[in-house]
Structure 1
């Protein structure tokens, strides 16, 4: 296979002025280099697979058009040490052939679970592929995480990004309607990963797209039980033994789901037993307003991640089913070695009348935005 490598470099001058009102204060100008690297690394089902690297001079993000994937995120700690904080493989081609629990992938056409792989829309019952026991999970046997997206890197002012599009045909994995999905994954100069989804359909269908990155702010040195979490969430949706929502909307007060003040994850997992794989509720009415939903801190490294979203909830998953998994850099991932914050509509929403509707009709546009903002304790 012949490799193709393309580089796009930009230079920007950033001006920092003191907040002091005295006019004598000196203004400092810092030059920042932003770079996109695009490299063909494989072919899959007749399509070229690329690795894209977005670098803002402080942190970098590795993407691929296979699965709409975020494969690596290199972020500095409080000492300036740059380490990958995403569970992954060493290389993109490994994602083509090795099973994995949706590391960094775009999950769709509908993320999360649909009970028994069935739903009714406009009086017609649809049967989906079941790939999680008797249930449908993250789009099925070959969901969007296993598709090669059409991709194009770009720059927009001081932002680096890759635009990716996938057209899902009518009937794929059992879903009705041809769905055109586009996502933009961007890295900004202030160390924010920004993801924006849009989708349109040719006939009524359901859609719920998200990113499924597993984070470990320690630089993947062990489990994430020492991470501190704070959720701006007053409610969550309880689940049954199959992790399907019961239909209840429950107050977090007096439960292990109450992260409204910062809590050490290990303490909360000990209280609940087993770990979290639940939908935390951000909103009960849809709006396009971006809201601060989660803050995660790793005390030892000083790394901090703040998550913002305009969606209704986030699936909080603590890597409960990972065991002896051969990951990148010779590391063996174990239970609770990563956590996911999957911004989304509520799980199995099509089968619960009191949940926000996941239905998308012709002429409508599905839109969804996520931001992961990285910093260090000062």
Structure 2
């Protein structure tokens, strides 16, 4: 367990690195964005996640890598939604038309405070004011990141002083082979439906069966090159912690994803371009994949999607565990 100064952002803000270790796993977590910068497993000669060596890259080419994204993860179409009869307009940071991951100054771009630190876990907290990025309500957020056995866990919680929308997600990129190309990994997702998207990657509103499509991952199969950045519908609301996905590399190393969340965004890294990485690597297309557990995207605008509203007195809480099996 340690806390060290890693560097400064261009605006002078200090970024610290927290080192965690338990069993065969060791991790580095940054106070910027509660980013998981590095994850190693004893006996495996390469990092299991994609990360950047320079903290400034996390505001540029490595944006969102390993971060906790929010206050609303994924996309809100046209950067607006109506809540309790009032329309809110949020930051248009995606193609100048939509809101992505809470806006240009979302949780990934904030310095989090270290509330507690032990050898195998850290709790980081932050607060966003009412009106931040156009969202209503002051919101207080906590992220407990822990290692136990061969598992990496995230428990994300929040409370607000006014009705708002909330969806928090760990946006880690994984590569179980260390080869810089995940297309030969095999994936299983326990979901019978997914959300089709338009040309701006905004859900159309349809909830489509995966049967007889390239989105049918109900049995473990090779990922390939179809180009995925879609939500898989795990359930119609929060559920008890349960396995929802399994990823297996050609090396034989596997990762099981367990979550309480109702959605899983699978992004295969199609749009990565020349990102400076760990151990002298450079990340290009398909260098890693994200399995982001969260609410369904654009839920504030879709009455048929699971409710993503957080009201005063309620506690948002979601847990996700990534278990590694050698």
Q: TM-score, normalised on structure 1?
A: 0.82
1:68 alignment partner in structure 2: 34
1:117 alignment partner in structure 2: 79
Is 1:84 matched up with 2:47? yes
Q: CA contact under 8 A between 1:281 and 1:313: conserved in structure 2?
A: yes
List per-residue Cα deviations over 1:216-265 (Å, max 9, x = no partner). Answer: 1112x221011010111111111111111111111111011111111111
1:295 alignment partner in structure 2: 246
Q: CA contact under 8 A between 2:267 and 2:291: conserved in structure 1?
A: yes
**For structure 1, which runs of at least 5 residues remain unmatched after alignment?**
1-35
For the residues of structure 2 that align with 1:54 and 1:89, how far apart are their CA atoms?
18
Q: CA contact under 8 A between 2:53 and 2:276: conserved in structure 1?
A: no
List per-residue Cα deviations over 1:50-72 (Å, max 9, x = no partner). Answer: 10111124121110111111011
Q: CA contact under 8 A between 1:108 and 1:210: conserved in structure 2?
A: yes
* Matched residue count: 324
**For structure 2, which runs of at least 5 residues remain unmatched after alignment?**
none
2:302 alignment partner in structure 1: 352
Report deviation, 1:95. Answer: 4.1
Q: CA contact under 8 A between 2:58 and 2:64: conserved in structure 1?
A: no
Alignment of 1:31-180 (within 5 A): 36-43=1-8, 48-76=14-42, 80-91=43-54, 93-95=55-57, 98-133=60-95, 134-155=97-118, 160-180=120-140
Q: TM-score, normalised on structure 2?
A: 0.95
List per-residue Cα deviations over 1:109-153 (Å, max 9, x = no partner). Answer: 100000010111111111111111111100111110010011134
Identify which range, 47-56 or 308-317, moves more after superposition. Answer: 47-56
More relative contact order, 1 or 2 (CA 8 Å, 6+ apart) = 2
Flag the 1:212–1:227 CA change in 2: closer, same or farther, 3 A.
same
Report deviation, 1:326. Answer: 2.6
SS at match of 1:82: coil
Q: CA contact under 8 A between 2:50 and 2:174: conserved in structure 1?
A: yes
CA RMSD of aligned residues (A): 1.6
Identify which range, 136-145 or 325-334, moves more after superposition. Answer: 325-334
Q: CA contact under 8 A between 1:59 and 1:82: conserved in structure 2?
A: no
For the residues of structure 2 that align with 1:237 and 1:207, how far apart are their CA atoms?
19
Is 1:323 matched up with 2:288? no
Q: CA contact under 8 A between 2:40 and 2:47: conserved in structure 1?
A: yes
1:12 alignment partner in structure 2: none
Report deviation, 1:47. Answer: 5.6
For the residues of structure 2 that align with 1:312 and 1:102, how far apart are their CA atoms?
21
Alignment of 1:166-315 (within 5 A): 166-188=126-148, 190-219=149-178, 221-266=179-224, 269=225, 273=226, 275-287=227-239, 289-299=240-250, 301-315=251-265
List per-residue Cα deviations over 1:152-201 (Å, max 9, x = no partner). Answer: 3434xxx711111111001111111100011100011x111110011110
